[in-house]
Structure 1
Amino acid sequence: MSSISVGIDLGTTHSLIAVFDAENGATLVRNGDGAALTPSVVGLSDDGTLLVGGPAHAQRLRKPAQTHAAFKRHMGTGKEFALGRQRLSAPQLSALVLRKLHTDLEAAYPGAEIDALVISVPAYFSSAQREATMLAAELAGLPRPRLVNEPTAAALAYGLNEREGEQTFIVLDLGGGTFDVSIIEMFEGVMEVRASSGDAMLGGGDFTACLRRDIVERLQLDGRPLSAAEQARIEAAAEALKRHLSRAEQAEATIALDDGPQDYRIDRRRFEELCAGLLMRMRRPIERCLYDARLEVGEIDRVMLVGGATRMTMIRGLVSRMLRRLPESGLDPDEVVALGAAVQAGLAARNTALADMVMTDVAPFSLGIASRIATESGIIEGGFAPIIERNTTLPASRMQQFTTIQDNQDMIEIAVYQGEAPIAVENVLIGKTHVAMPRGKAGTQQIEVRFSYDSSGLLHVRITVLSTGAQTDLVIEGSAAALSPAERRRRLQELAAYMLHPREDGDNLALSERLKGLYAMFLGADRAYVAELIARFETALNEQDPRRIADLRKELARTADELERSYVR
């Protein structure tokens, strides 16, 4: 029986499924209508028949109350959707879409076994949203999937045929309901994500909503309640107008309302004015991504557009102005994520055709604990102390030390949060544990908190009481909950290899000793200069950023060579 590696793009508007094999590479699976895109829509017909995909989408105008779409935006929340006599969650509705895709796969590859399954998610999806995606796969009866960030998947699809050379590119993925940005470096088959950012509540649907609101205002419909059927027709007209404006300077539509048809006209300039606030929201993740990657606009070699919404001319214009480079869309922006997810599945299955390809990713959010934080302006109670900061390359391990804050304190609560807010409770609580402490005066007892995190979402927290050596471990699985026990053990063992402070690394130790030797050799201004080099290296070691440490180590090694030559002379 043959085996296939499968990638799924579970989208807000449409979903796709693709397979990877050594002979054909990544290819899309067509549905029963012969299309690659299956609408992410679920509904009930008049006779109570469940409709998924194209048939459900076809009845949206006629039966809006019996049809649901864009439920991906509510993954990880408690929102429920009425479907007949039932109320279904976003993961349950998503599971129906996944089941439909799986049925199409079985029709195209009868009898084939899935050796690896990867589902794409927005890079800025939280742990709760990722867990909801894993739940949807489980409810659909699919094998345990891995998750891949959508811009990363797109980069894999582009990089599959371009494995030589060195370049830095930015991927902008504007889907139906989410916006993601990733900066990726590629060299000799290795693709390394430098930074990711995004907005999980910004997508093509929001641009459609701008048109919808303008239709209601211009046709003076805001003075009366609109029926569900009228709202559905206005929504459909807005979507059609948006698509037409991607091809033409002007667009018009006749909208059938309960009291008769009305005409609406708009041009691109007006459309862009309506969406000015959305374009401003798009700028922020792009700017943050460049900041986190420590790159200037001029250091970006290529700009890739992903997602059907990037076909809007205002999007291409914004990107061109911001990044001073014309964007590329050599692959179909609707299809590229699914193709890349299939490539990631091929990597997971260790397909020999991908033996020379390596992909690394980053932490989309900062991870840390609640702590009392001292600042120049005073004490922040319940502050957020990041331990692994966002856009740290994974896998990663970082540690910080904390002290007791009360006399005779015999217990410390470690509350683990995910997010970027300065106050811990404003972030997302993902785990909690308690650590017994020896009694003593405030500030005399210390703990070392180490976070070790990998790309599957597995977080290993180890708390060590420094005075006794006692250790407490907390494993937060997140989207890694679907890993098999054997895979979970393997990943924990791999993370253990990273539980080493950079100061203990052999290369770093060697350079530190070399610099100390130079300090002993020199006097006066030369000695002060070496002391400054030592301080710079110590600062980098304390920050525990492997990339920065490696770059600085190379720089300081060259400087040490020059100093040694000058001493001999």
Structure 2
Amino acid sequence: MNVLQFKKKNKENNRNNSYSSESYPKSPQGASAIGIDLGTTNSVVSVFSNGASHPVTLEYENSYLVPSMIFFNKNENENFVGNKAKLQNEITPVEVIKSTKRSMGKNNALFESNGKQYTAEDAATLVLNYLVSHPTLQEEKEKFGGIWAVITVPAHFDDAARLATVAAAEKAGIHVLRIVNEPTAAALAYSMMPEDKKTEKETLAVFDLGGGTFDVSIVDRDGLVFNVLSSEGDVHLGGDDIDEAIANSLVDKVHPQLVARRSSKSSELYRNLILLAERAKKALQSEGLYQVQANDLDGKGSSIETELSRENFDEMVAPILQRTLFLTESAMHAAKRNPKYISRILLVGGSTRLVLVRKMLSDYFACIVDARLEPDLAVSWGASLQAAIIIGIQPDTILVDVCSHSLGIGVVENTEAINENFKTVAKKFGIPYPISEQELHRKLGARIEDFNNELQKLLHVAPILHRNSALPARRSEFFNTIYHNQHAVHVVVVQGEGDIVGENRLIGSFLFELEQPCPKGTRCEIQLTYDVNGMVHVFARQLGTKNEAKAQFDSRTGEVTGWTSLNLDDEDQFTDNEKLHNVDEIYEKKSTTKQLEKAMSHENIVSFPFGRKKEDLQKAELSAYECEPEIVNALILRAKRYLNKIQKENKEYNLILESLKKYSSLLLKAQQGHENDEDIELVETNLLALLEGK
């Protein structure tokens, strides 16, 4: 496998070659600002017109809320969407498709209604088609030749889920102006409240607990400027989990006994218990006791007659709400904010109506729990305001959002690590080791791709863009090849916080061909970009050459879908995210004493810098920074993490520290032209042995 060796960031990335995000559609002059909340349980559309003080929410069949449900009527060969599907859910819940949002971007997740299968993207397309059928939107379509809208998604949606949302909208004939995180949209919505318009500085916590997903964002507000500091969330946490907790408690109360074997989540019995759980949940917000009674839950005579108290309900729900509080604390920590500095908690999502939710937040924050806006409508209001900002109806409002996941690429420590990974996977596939490439292909045949995928999962992750970087975000890291005459590098891009590729969401990969000759240690720049929609683009460059590639992925399949052109015109739109992590501070300290003290610490143990070969040093004058060994490889990164976990007084600490210093020195000499591969390999072996406790 052609892979890269990790190197820490170089000042050279301040120059960052930029390339444009995909060009987002511009709405025609006079078009309305449309915001769509494509929800797990319900979807909502709001329209912000020029000169209006607030959005207007569209009604469908006398309701603002459109159930995000699908039912395939095989007799009429027709899809029922919204309230029609919800009515059918009361009769045959097992045949109604709902809560598909959690599976967006996962094409292998299929939902079935009367023998017809749908992906989550298919279901979203049908819901959006239904929303577009509203007379107001049809009039907009006839007048301007299309519909331009902002669509919201959970803050913790990954790249594949966001891309699937855009694809569903496009299939429904919607031009997506922007993808906006739901809690961010809600914060904008609250700014339209008359009493809020005069508010200057405040820090908000947006608590968004919907039917299937949970998000929390910490937002600094300064007048009409909204700066999202951090977002946390879980796309598998919401009101559905509360319903399931209640339904699970009811299974044992069903008569006749031993019915549990017929109570799988897809069974008719369980779907009917979910309906009972929903009713109980709503009733217990105003009543202390609720009678649960139903007959023939499964067509086989199973019935239930029991009661639930508020105390029972709170006990079942508490562990679920505790998870939301844990994520809230994590968001507070990432934003570097203390609960006492939060001015208000903004409630968003239907599940925030629970009495226990409001009590929990009041106890934790000790500030105003703000529920003045209808929880189900706040997100679509904010989305329409964001659309108004984009098309110029509300030009004074500024929104800066953040990315929800870190981005990085797969790397290895050295050739020994590659051999160890290969040995591990070979054992898993029952293949002898060592083995020639030709023999490997002969033995595996069509399974060779699976073999390579398993190898890929074992790569370490070198993070490039960090979670909660302001959008749009862009950052480069520099890497070294690990073989002499390496002809290409396999660039594997992942999204998540795991240490190895297999613990993260694979965005995609591509082969970057290298110009020859290509000695060991050839430098490559990998630049990752989150655009304003939170989607991913990749730029690769072989330093010292004109060899470069710029790719974007369909992260649902991992395939390269296009190559974006280099464009320096949009340089100003990117935030300098290096400053967010204070990684440049050390280089601004000029004191010799401070530099010396840092050099003696394991924090400064580094490998060779990216630079020219020894014979090239006479041809060009390098900056002081480029001459300084400040670039870290994956083995050193691993060692530094290990040192951070043990005491400095420990004998093991000093042994590893001395090995690191020696390793760095040898790598630096190698980059300057010295032939010392054997010495490097010996020190690598000793260092690995120390780290593994051998």
User: Which interval holds the TM-score relative to the shorter structure?
Assistant: 0.7 to 0.9
Instruction: Report matched runs for 1:97-496 at 5 Å.
Output: 97-106=127-136, 111-113=142-144, 116-161=148-193, 162-163=196-197, 164-219=199-254, 223-224=258-259, 225=262, 229-257=268-296, 259=301, 262-351=304-393, 354-373=394-413, 382-433=459-510, 434-436=512-514, 438-439=516-517, 442=520, 444-466=521-543, 468-476=544-552, 493-495=569-571
1:74 to 80, 98, 103: 103
3-state DSSP of counterpart to 1:422? coil
Q: CA deviation at 1:262?
A: 3.4
Q: CA deviation at 1:247?
A: 2.0
Structure 1 letter corresponding to 2:277: A
Write the distance in 2 (CA, Å) between the matches of 1:124 and 1:422: 19
Instruction: Name the counterpart of 2:15.
Output: none
3-state DSSP of counterpart to 2:32? strand
Write the distance in 1 (CA, Å) between the matches of 2:223 and 2:542: 44
Instruction: Name the counterpart of 1:89.
Output: 119
Deviations 1:485-517 (A, max 9, x none): 9xx8798741487598979xxxx99x988x75x
Structure 2 letter corresponding to 1:201: H
Structure 1 letter corresponding to 2:487: D
3-state DSSP of counterpart to 1:143? strand
Higher-RCO chain (CA-CA 8 Å, sequence separation at least 6): 2
- Point out where structure 2 has 5 or more consecutive residues left out of the alignment: 1-28, 422-457, 605-624, 632-694
Residue identity (%): 30
Q: CA deviation at 1:102?
A: 1.1
Structure 2 letter corresponding to 1:195: S
Structure 2 length normalisation: TM-score?
Answer: 0.67
Instruction: Name the counterpart of 1:550.
Output: none
Write the distance in 2 (CA, Å) between the matches of 1:52 and 1:147: 23
1:512, 1:534 within 8 Å by CA — same for their partners in 2?
no
Structure 1 letter corresponding to 2:62: G
2:54, 2:192 within 8 Å by CA — same for their partners in 1?
no
3-state DSSP of counterpart to 2:162? helix
Change (3 A) 1:157 1:58: same
Write the distance in 1 (CA, Å) between the matches of 2:316 and 2:515: 58
Structure 1 letter corresponding to 2:35: G
Q: CA deviation at 1:259?
A: 3.1
Write the distance in 1 (CA, Å) between the matches of 2:530 and 2:42: 32
Write the distance in 2 (CA, Å) between the matches of 1:47 and 1:501: 56
Deviations 1:166-209 (A, max 9, x none): 11111111111000111111113110111111000111011011
3-state DSSP of counterpart to 1:8? strand
Write the distance in 2 (CA, Å) between the matches of 1:193 and 1:479: 25
1:14 to 39, 42, 47: 42
The answer to which of 127-136 and 228-237 deviates more is 228-237
Write the distance in 1 (CA, Å) between the matches of 2:515 and 2:411: 16
Write the distance in 2 (CA, Å) between the matches of 1:480 and 1:85: 25
2:159, 2:536 within 8 Å by CA — same for their partners in 1?
no
Which has the higher Rg, Structure 1 or Structure 2?
2
1:169, 1:300 within 8 Å by CA — same for their partners in 2?
yes
Instruction: Name the counterpart of 1:547.
Output: none
Write the distance in 2 (CA, Å) between the matches of 1:94 and 1:386: 32
The answer to which of 272-281 and 165-174 deviates more is 272-281
Write the distance in 1 (CA, Å) between the matches of 2:246 and 2:371: 26
Write the distance in 1 (CA, Å) between the matches of 2:323 and 2:249: 20
Aligned residue pairs: how many? 515
Instruction: Name the counterpart of 2:87.
Output: 58
Structure 1 length normalisation: TM-score?
Answer: 0.81
Change (3 A) 1:456 1:471: farther
